[in-house]
Amino acid sequence: MNWDVIFSVSLESLIGLSTIVYALAAIGLNVHFGYTGLLNFGQSAFLGVAAYGMAITVTTFGQPFWLGILVGLGGVVVLALLLGIPTLRLRADYLAIVTIAAAEIVRLLFRSVTLSEWTGGSDGLQQFSQSFYDMNPYSSPIETTLISFSTRELWVLTVGWVLVAIALLIVWLLMRSPWGRVIKAIREDEDAVRSLGKNVFSYKIQALILGGVLGSLGGFVFALGLAAIQPDTYGTEFTFYMYTIVILGGAARVFGPVVGSMIFWFLLTFINALLPSLISVGAIPSSIMTTNQAGAVGYILVGIGLMLLLIFRPQGIFGDKKEVMLDAR
């Protein structure tokens, strides 16, 4: 048993690329779902549009990196307006239907053969991250017995956690302001908010854009961290993991998404490292499980764990049980 390997990959995942990407995506989703009550089931599309906006600008059209970032952000705002303007005047569930469909449309467009000249089709795009790594100030990697990161990884993690900190600061500032009060009130009952003279539609659009932009930061980090993008990354299960993380951490809590993401990825990595090595040393006989099945079993175990958590702690890690129980009325 390689306990040191199991522990080091688990520890690395605690602050690793996936944790950052999902934390940023979930911070955005938390603005939608947790604070505003918008059922956005297409958060993956916001990350996808940001990543593709950047990659197409840089790789396909040979434009500068920063212009790519701007194009990505612009694309996210446009997507939010496209989704929001027709649906936000309607009941909440319409947004859910439209966003889940839109996310699939976006993914299928990215991988369509017709557009492959620009998007690279199902292979995606590469070679757009050189300018980003050129800015890397780290010259030596970290190599300890517990964790090790290359200089490239260190640079991605640094930028990623700075972005997480900025996103958290923005959410924290907004949600303690009168703006955040209107947003939370809309979650509770938008007609009441309307009757008090607030333009509910405008606030919902603002929240949709804000959550989309914060989530899209995760899309940039993801693309740059892997130095490649692929359309099928941005499927619906991407969004469902984000929801899991938001609820796990505690909806409408500033730090919920970050802690949720850390726990989710730590558990998943730990189990996915533990099971194969248990099988290889014979602790689990191959009649029960082979190494090929270990990955799927890992997800099953994490799923069971999350179910138990939500049964016994429905408010998530940071939530207030009293508050969640009010919802039942």
Partner 1 sequence: MPADQQTDAPAKARAVAALADVPREPGAKKPDPILVVDKVVRRFGGLTAVNVGHVEIQRGAITALIGPNGAGKTTFFNLLTGFDKPDEGNWAFNGQPLQGVAAHKVARRGMVRTFQLTKSLNRLSVIDNMRLGATGQRGENFWRALIPGLWKKQEQDVTERADELLARFKLDAKREDFAGSLSGGQRKLLEMARALMVNPEMVMLDEPMAGVNPALTQSLLGHVKGLRELGMTVLFVEHDMDMVRDISDWVIVMGQGEVIAEGTPDEVMADQRVIDAYLGAHHDGAADPDADPAADTAGPAAPAAPAAGEPAGPTAGATAPKPAKEDGQ
- Which residue ranges make up the site for partner 1 (CB under 8 A)? 170, 173-174, 176-182, 184-185, 187-189, 191-200, 206, 210, 322-323, 326-327, 329
Check: CB of residue 62 under 8 Å from CB of residue 239.
Answer: no
Distance separating alpha carbons of residues 275 and 289, to the nearest angstrom: 9
CA end-to-end span of the chain, whole Å? Answer: 51
Which residue, 118 or 201, has its beta carbon nearer to partner 1? Answer: 201
The Cα-based distances of 162 to 168, 221, 235 in angstroms read 10, 11, 26
Which residue, 103 or 164, has its beta carbon nearer to partner 1? Answer: 164
Which residue, 81 or 227, has its beta carbon nearer to partner 1? Answer: 81
Residue 288, token pair as written in the block: 């029960």
Q: How far is the CB of 180 from partner 1 (least distance, A)?
A: 7
Residue keyed to tokens 């990623």: 160
Which residue, 127 or 176, has its beta carbon nearer to partner 1? Answer: 176
Distance separating alpha carbons of residues 166 and 203, to the nearest angstrom: 22
Q: How far is the CB of 102 from partner 1 (least distance, A)?
A: 24
Check: CB of residue 65 under 8 Å from CB of residue 59.
Answer: no
Q: How far is the CB of 282 from partner 1 (least distance, A)?
A: 52
Q: How far is the CB of 206 from partner 1 (least distance, A)?
A: 5
Residue 325, token pair as written in the block: 């129980």
Distance separating alpha carbons of residues 77 and 208, to the nearest angstrom: 9
Q: How far is the CB of 169 from partner 1 (least distance, A)?
A: 9
Which residue, 123 or 320, has its beta carbon nearer to partner 1? Answer: 320
Which residue, 149 or 203, has its beta carbon nearer to partner 1? Answer: 203
Q: How far is the CB of 39 from partner 1 (least distance, A)?
A: 17
DSSP secondary structure letter of residue 229: E
Distance separating alpha carbons of residues 223 and 228, to the nearest angstrom: 6
Residue 37, token pair as written in the block: 């009550």
The residues facing 229 across adjacent strands are 125
Which residue, 161 or 179, has its beta carbon nearer to partner 1? Answer: 179
Q: How far is the CB of 322 from partner 1 (least distance, A)?
A: 7
Residue 164, token pair as written in the block: 């997480």
Strands 228-229 and 125-126: antiparallel
